[in-house]
Chain A
């Protein structure tokens, strides 16, 4: 029996209530897997991995000269989200993204929320992701964050929290679509009749969202995905999304500013582009405005953007809303703009920039998770309970040197899922990153990317830190 020796330990398990009893939504899945001939589950796992390699579904790891291209490990046992829980998540995400967008728009206009002393002024002024170049900008329909990826986690008691917001260039959605495709190819017998909500419409939703951005009423604005190039860790995704939307994938060197338009260099001369889904950071967008040493962007882009002659998704400046110390204020932000209570709660967060919190954090490093406010991808973080005394004193030094750069949160006992490892099924910690599109309305892709920490006991799920992924099944109501 595949799950015979499976242990949920003292964590919340996404598939099982206890060691042998599945959750109601997972009953069918468990039955199907159990009914497979012996070894079949492991054979399917191997087939999925070889399919990933053949399809070249890979990512690049920075600072790793030995093997720069890796497959993103995939586990064939899907993660199930039941319909009622998903509906609640969807509502919560819509609320959050709607409010964060109002916040960004406010910050680059009157800053009412600061004047009303809901968010402290110093946090905005000192945020590296605050772009004064964006003050007074009016993106189409006042929407700034068109594509958001929000990380959700579940604690030991079953409560789901928002762990962080990603409003710049969230990546991973290509794996959601590829995982589903691989799942259907390698595991059709488990997939059948499970009533899983489809994810295939994402590319066309994304395209519509992007097309809705071009201010001048046009039948079909020319859309392109702007990538830093093949050495970027998410290059595969950039090319995948461009391909699925049927639009050009461009690099900075393909573009040039001519007569107030952004032009692509083509075999027939210059051709204008109207909407750029840019997958490069603000810093690198335009060397005339942001980092002057950037070779990735397009000189003159911002000026043309300000004139409304090209649209950018996401708008420059959205990073202010995913600064990890601003995150701590999201419940207040939601209340301020919407007059509503936050639906999906935040993880309690200590802002090291505030003196009394700083001393608490430094004194309790062994219990806390510390994160740099501007980092992502699992870089620049300390997981207290898994750290050495040496690492803790190093972090204490770094935090005291630059408190504004750090926040700390209690270490959660992240929920777990069954994962195939060395021919056995074992429990590993997971999170979930759903994707939210904001164009003429707000759309949440059912499910999202389930990331698994493949190392036993590890709480870090990022692909750059040895994480893998699973297909996420949101069940039909």
Chain B
């Protein structure tokens, strides 16, 4: 398929998934705030930190108040990763490849964008934004369902799936990081019911609480890390996402599993193997935040490898930047 079209499907998918996840971030924070002891200060700065867009935030707002952070993450046009901006970018990508996707996919992206674009961050909406975020999550999930049911499960679908899963892996890692940045009122609160409540909120925002309970029962930080990072079967766990993305990558290139022929395959393969052969003890020993931070950097390199291998416009006469490896 055309490189440009592949690129747009990949980003269409990433942006739809990103909008969903930004809604989840805000939601997890809202839930955590509700359970804080009444005298404690609300904490919204952590959300800005994990979004990776601190620069854009401080350029536009002086304090990380609840309203400012929600406005910035959900509605701000000057934030390229706000929900509104993601959905606009998703729609622009879809618009350039309408001929390659199903009409149902386009209609869903379009109506999702129209819905969000019409939403004004009024004081009322900011006071109780939960239903708005659940609309966004539903719209994104509906898009994924429609795509699975209507798009040819060929190369285009694999680019779509790879985009969605790599985005999700990145966002699950950031969701876990929210808890790292979230200060407990005092050191003595570690391991208390309050701590548990916050961990449960992390799970809930990843739609993972009930599945976690089935797998591990009680709330325990190590097991939550295990579930969200290393689980083989939970569809939002990082390991699960990378494994499935890797399958799609190999389906696209035709490279047999276990070897690599380009930078994308090499980097994704390495990263996946790293996760496959680690455990929570190692992660905790290293420090969860440090682990997640390093993971995000490596994931960016995977994305760069995909761009170089499939999307970059190569000059005439040069072959694809293939490397045969074993």
Residue ranges of A at the interface with B (Cβ–Cβ < 8 Å): 53-56, 225, 229-230, 235-236, 239-240, 242-243, 247-251, 253-254, 256, 258, 264-269
Contact = CB atoms under 8 A, between A and B. Distances in A.
Contacts of A247: 99
A374 to B, nearest CB: 30
A405 to B, nearest CB: 36
Contact of B100 (A229, A230, A249, A251): A249
Main secondary structure, interface of B, reads helix
A239 B93 CA distance: 13
Contacts of B316: 256, 258
Contacts of B110: 54-56
Interface stretch (B2-10, B38-46, B235-243): B2-10
A242 B1 CA distance: 14
Given A243-B99, A253-B313, A267-B155, A53 B3 contact: no
Given A54-B107, A256-B316, A239 B3 contact: no
7 contacts: A230-B96, A250-B2, A251-B4, A265-B2, A266-B3, A267-B1, A267-B311
A53 B107 CA distance: 10
Nearest to A236: B98
Interface in B291-326: 310-311, 313-314, 316, 319-320
Contacts of B4: 251, 253-254, 265
Contacts of B95: 56, 230, 235, 239
Given A242-B99, A250-B2, A267-B159, 17 more contacts: A54-B107, A54-B114, A56-B98, A56-B106, A56-B107, A229-B96, A230-B95, A235-B95, A239-B99, A243-B99, A248-B2, A248-B99, A253-B4, A265-B2, A267-B2, A269-B319, A269-B320
Q: Which of B1, B98, B316 has the most CB of A within 10 A?
A: B98
Nearest to B7: A267
Contacts of B2: 248, 250, 254, 264-267
Interface in B93-152: 95-100, 103, 106-107, 110-111, 114
A376 B144 CA distance: 42
* 6 closest residue pairs by CB, A with B: A242-B99, A243-B99, A239-B98, A249-B99, A56-B110, A239-B99
Nearest to A250: B2
Interface residues of B, number: 29
Contacts of A253: 4, 313
A240 B252 contact: no
Q: Which of A56, A253, A256, A264 has the most CB of B within 10 A?
A: A56
Contacts of B6: 267
A265 B314 contact: yes
B321 to A, nearest CB: 11
Nearest to A263: B316
B98 A266 contact: no
A53 B114 contact: yes
Contact of A265 (B96, B107, B313): B313
Nearest to B106: A56
A243 B98 contact: yes
B99 A240 contact: yes
A258 B95 CA distance: 29
Contacts of A55: 103, 106-107, 110
A248 B2 CA distance: 8
Contacts of A53: 114
Given A265-B2, A267-B155, A240 B111 contact: no
Contacts of A264: 2
Contacts of B114: 53-54
Nearest to A229: B96
B98 A254 contact: no
Interface string B170-189: 00000000000000000000
B308 to A, nearest CB: 12
Contacts of B96: 229-230
Contacts of A229: 96
B292 to A, nearest CB: 31
Given A54-B110, A230-B95, A258-B316, A266 B100 contact: no
Contact of B3 (A225, A230, A235, A265): A265
Nearest to B311: A267
B320 to A, nearest CB: 6
Contacts of A268: 320
Contact of A240 (B1, B98, B311): B98
Contacts of A258: 316
A265 B320 CA distance: 11
Contact of B310 (A56, A240, A256, A267): A267
Nearest to A243: B99
Interface string B66-87: 0000000000000000000000
Contacts of B1: 266-267
